[in-house]
Amino acid sequence: MELCVPKLLSMNINQVIDNNPIGKAHTPTSALYRDSALYESVKENIFCRYPFWIGHEVCFDGKNNLFPINVYPGMLDEPLLLSKKESDFHMLSNVCTHRGAIIEKKNCSKNRIICPYHGRRWDLEGNFQFMPGFKEVENFPSDCDHLKKIALYRYNSFLWGTLSDDNFKNLVPDSLFQKYMYFFPFDRLQKAENFETEYAINCNWALYCENYLEGFHIPFVHPDLNQALSNEVYPVICDKEWILQIGMAEGNTNCFDLPKGHLDYGSRVGAYYFYLFPSTMLNFYPWGLSVNQILPQGIDSVMVKYQTYVLPGAKLANSAGAGLDKVELEDQEVVMRVQKGIGSRNYTRGRYSPKHEKGVYHFHQLISRALL
């Protein structure tokens, strides 16, 4: 059984997103960013079904072993509980199977999970153990008295979840991500001093993703980043739910020390920008990793949560990701311009640049397939 029930669109998605080849296709109509029924369909058919980022294992070190997780706060607000038992993780519902109370509200350390309302108890894997006052209840306990187990995927110290029973088939291994990042020391990543930052932006979530998925705007919007990365050589590779942009280092910009046999061996790669549909951006630099989580707050607002992980002894100076805050603010300004512009009576839809907007086109096709 899945937690989400898909809702029907009030329009045909083919009227919104053009599925012709990129050289013939038009960009989406403004309905993708402004239609409330379409937004609800995106919520149920995409965000409720595709993998979401939980975090690096380093976030769950220390004395605590229970971590409440709110999946897509402001959109789904699904309460889950990440449980750690020795080196194993379990993702569970954070809702009591008795009367629906939220079980844990903050990180804590316990050897059992206990509902604070009536004392119902489970082990750390979500299996029912005890409930006071239920001796006379027939056919109790049953399967529905256990905490529902939520699909969890663990890969190279990363944790992912999904509210769908099983939707990890295109995540990793054998994905674009694995092919390019197998050499990276994931287990050495540490939380940066300024680990987490949130930005509230007045734009539709898809506009923010579109801007991320092309380097076309870099010379016009990001003067400092334009000095660090090449705009002439900017490969974009699309495969299933993954989109990869490869930033080639310019001048004295730091680059990866790639092993022999790597697909980019011999090239000066300054950044690998991975997007996993629909809400995770993994930005790898020689110094570490910056993660962007896309958290829709409504049809015309989005929260972007940054997490920054660094490698021991790595230096950010002369690296493509050294000025993340400045780049983010520059991006915000331009996507809010677009949010206002698409509401104009004089705008209908545009065209794609096959050279520069392949990632944006693939993103739109992923939305279209998910909503068909």
Domain that holds residue 364: 13-49+183-371
Average pLDDT of the residues in 119-131: 98
> pLDDT value at position 1?
40
In a domain, 169, yes or no: no
Q: Identify the residue with better confidence: 156 or 165.
A: 156
> pLDDT value at position 329?
87
Q: Would you place residue 168 in the very low, low, confident or very high pLDDT band (cuts 50, 70, 90)? A: confident
On the question of pLDDT at 318 being above 70, the answer is no
* Closest residue by Cα to residue 286 from 329, 321, 251: 321
pLDDT in tens, 31-41: 999 999 999 99
User: Could you tell me which residues are beta bridge partners of residue 71?
Assistant: 78
Range of lowest pLDDT (11-20, 23-32, 217-226): 217-226
User: Could you tell me which residues are beta bridge partners of residue 357?
Assistant: none
Residue type, 263: L
Q: Which of 101, 132, 162 is the last residue of a domain?
A: 162
* 96: Cβ contacts below 8 Å, ≥ 6 apart: 102, 103, 115, 117, 118, 120
Q: Identify the residue with better confidence: 167 or 363.
A: 363
> pLDDT value at position 56?
97
pLDDT in tens, 247-259: 988 888 899 999 9
Same domain, 209 and 358: yes
In a domain, 167, yes or no: no
Same domain, 208 and 346: yes
* Closest residue by Cα to residue 214 from 187, 229, 235: 235
In a domain, 228, yes or no: yes
Q: Identify the residue with better confidence: 168 or 27.
A: 27
> pLDDT value at position 249?
87
Whether the bond between 68 and the residue before it is cis, its omega within 30 degrees of 0, is: no
Same domain, 152 and 272: no
Q: Identify the residue with better confidence: 208 or 322.
A: 208
> pLDDT value at position 234?
86
Same domain, 221 and 358: yes
In a domain, 3, yes or no: no
Could you tell me what percent of the chain has a pLDDT over 90?
77
> pLDDT value at position 358?
96
Same domain, 135 and 212: no
In a domain, 176, yes or no: no
- The C-alpha atoms of residue 159 and residue 138 are separated, in whole angstroms, by 39
The per-residue pLDDT of the chain, averaged, comes to 91
Average pLDDT of the residues in 45-54: 95
DSSP state of 26: B
Same domain, 132 and 219: no
pLDDT in tens, 199-243: 999 999 999 999 999 877 788 888 777 676 777 788 999 999 999
On the question of pLDDT at 165 being above 80, the answer is no
CATH number, domain of 143, equals: 2.102.10.10
Q: Would you place residue 171 in the very low, low, confident or very high pLDDT band (cuts 50, 70, 90)? A: confident
Q: Which of 100, 132, 162 is the last residue of a domain?
A: 162
Same domain, 217 and 357: yes
Same domain, 263 and 336: yes
* Closest residue by Cα to residue 203 from 335, 76, 35, 368: 335
In a domain, 120, yes or no: yes
pLDDT in tens, 268-306: 999 999 999 999 999 999 999 999 999 999 999 999 999
Q: Would you place residue 316 in the very low, low, confident or very high pLDDT band (cuts 50, 70, 90)? A: confident
268 neighbors 318 (Cβ within 8 angstroms) = no
CATH number, domain of 223, equals: 3.90.380.10
Q: Which of 114, 132, 162 is the last residue of a domain?
A: 162
Same domain, 70 and 40: no
Could you tell me what percent of the chain has a pLDDT over 70?
92
Which residue has 């029924």 as its token pair? 37
In a domain, 168, yes or no: no
List, in sequence order, the alpha helices (H) in the chain: 31-34, 36-42, 176-181, 205-212, 218-221, 223-228, 324-341, 358-371
> pLDDT value at position 5?
45
How many independent structural domains does the chain possess? 2
In a domain, 7, yes or no: no
83 neighbors 89 (Cβ within 8 angstroms) = yes
Same domain, 57 and 43: no
Same domain, 157 and 296: no
Same domain, 38 and 64: no
